[in-house]
Amino acid sequence: MSGCGGWSILIGRVTPFATPRRAAPLAATALLLFIATSAAPTERVAALTQARAEIASDLARPIAECLARQDTTHAAFRGCIDWHSAVHATWALASYTRLTQDRRYVPLLRRVVTPGAIAAERELLARDPSFEMPYGRAWFLRLAIDHERLFGDGALAPMAGEVAASLVQRYARRAPDPRAGSYDSASWALINLLDWARHTGDAALAQRVRDLARAPYVEAGTRCPLELETRGFLSPCVTWAWLVSRVLGPADFVPWFRAWDPGLARLAPIAAPGSAHQYGMNFSRAWGLWELAALLPDDGLADAYAAHFTTTFRQPQHWRGDYRTVGHWVAQFGMFAAAPLFGPDAR
């Protein structure tokens, strides 16, 4: 089934999961409509922050519905049509639980992440080094970080260590390409490697990643062509700058960005996506725009974050609509975009 009501098919049988009660359907969406039409640009981030719990709750519902399905035969990550979408759905619910302290999805998370299922997934990745390389593996690192922050049990750490090593090996063999987008995005993979290194306190890994990124991203002297922003689901240019902000310290990043910036704050949100993948682009741009705004508060990047987030969130059919087109994945992107509204330690 496509995720209606409080039931989904799991392991060959109908299994109930808790459907959140709500006083008014999609209350946050109504607020976002007001923000989009009434709030001044400087007030939009504050308004989003005020509505963060409702926003996250609205996003969590379709995520839980798709995660509880059995769309594939994978041992753990079998909902949401494909492996990587099930991984970032699991991440999204773990992050939601940690940030809101709403524990209604913990039983579902416990059903997904079991020792036997993770052992089988670990074996799959070891047997097929090309499987979900690099995109899904990068998301697995993100999941491992927030699962550990929520439960503290280290259940995903051994597999995450192997995933991190496989990503490093990939980029040691071939230089990361800053222009690669979507499933091939090196920028996304390296950002998650850096976050995994920070989470585990692995200074050597962090330095290795910075070394891999420096030549192609920082020293190449080329800008990101904005035409790359017209296709795919993961913003190449914003993610490029976000990665460099993590490779350089703030004192070095700001002048680099001033010289490199192809006009990120002027990117117009996509109001009418022309392809299935474009439904995720506004949220994925918002991921990095938030990070850049913290370093460049006077560059209009915070307003760009709010505009991109609001444009997609206020159109629920763009993230909880047709299951195959958007319903199995876009809300997870929205959760990652909304997470920093909960504070500096949110992600």
3-state secondary structure of 272: coil
3-state secondary structure of 8: strand
Please give the model's pTM, rounded to 2 decimal places.
Answer: 0.91
Q: What is the pLDDT of residues 189-205, one digit of tens each?
A: 999 999 999 999 999 99
218 pLDDT above the threshold of 50? yes
Mean pLDDT over residues 69-88, rounded?
98
Its CATH class, for the domain covering 7-342, is mainly alpha
Give the pLDDT of residue 33: 59
Q: What is the pLDDT of residues 30-39, one digit of tens each?
A: 666 566 556 6
Q: What is the CA radius of gyration of the chain?
A: 19
Please state the domain extents for the chain. 7-342
Task: Report CA torsion sign: 242, 246, 249, 252.
Answer: negative
CA 282, CA 269: separation in Å to the nearest integer? Answer: 6
CA 39, CA 303: separation in Å to the nearest integer? Answer: 11
Q: What is the pLDDT of residues 126-168, one digit of tens each?
A: 999 999 999 999 999 999 999 999 999 999 999 999 999 999 9
Give the pLDDT of residue 278: 97
- 9: DSSP letter: E
Q: What is the pLDDT of residues 25-68, one digit of tens each?
A: 466 666 665 665 566 766 889 999 999 999 999 999 999 999 99
